[in-house]
Amino acid sequence: MNTHRFFTSRLISLCLIFNSAMAVAESNVEKQDAYSVENVASVDAKYVDDTLHLLLGKKIRGKDSLWYQYSHDQAKTWSEAVNITKGLKIEARFHRGNDARLAVQGNNIVVVWMSKKEGAPHNSGPMVAMVSNDAGQSWNEIDSPADWREGSHGFFAMDANDKSISLAWLDSRKDAGKGAAQGLQYSTSFDGGTTWSKNKTLDDRSCACCWNTAYFNGDDFYVLYRDKDPSDMAIGRVDSEQQWQRLSTVGQFNWDFQGCPHIGGSLVFDDQNKLFHATVGTGHNKYSGAFYLNSTDLGQSWSEPVQLGDETAVHSDVAVTEDGNLLAAWDYISDKGFQVVYASSADQGKTWQAPIQISQSGVRASHPRVIAMKDSFLLLWTEGKERKPHVLHSERIILGE
Q: What is the pLDDT at residue 2?
A: 43
Please enumerate, as own/partner, the contacts of 344-349 that have beta carbons within 8 Å and a separation of 24 or more: 344/399, 346/399, 346/400, 348/270, 348/273, 348/275, 348/294, 348/324, 349/277, 349/292, 349/294, 349/303, 349/306
Instruction: For the chain, list the domains and their CATH numbers.
Output: 3-397 (2.120.10.10)
Q: What is the pLDDT at residue 360?
A: 86
Q: Which residues of the chain have pLDDT under 50?
A: 1-35
Q: Mind listing the pLDDT tens digit for each residue in 355-397?
A: 999 998 888 999 999 999 998 999 999 998 877 789 999 999 9
Q: Mind listing the pLDDT tens digit for each residue in 67-98?
A: 999 999 999 999 999 999 999 989 999 999 99
DSSP lists the bridge partners of residue 340 as: 331
- Residue 301 near residue 294 (C-beta atoms within 8 A): no
- Residue 351 near residue 53 (C-beta atoms within 8 A): no
Q: Mind listing the pLDDT tens digit for each residue in 241-264?
A: 999 999 999 999 999 998 889 999
- Residue 264 near residue 97 (C-beta atoms within 8 A): yes
Q: What is the pLDDT at residue 20?
A: 28
Q: What is the pLDDT at residue 401?
A: 59
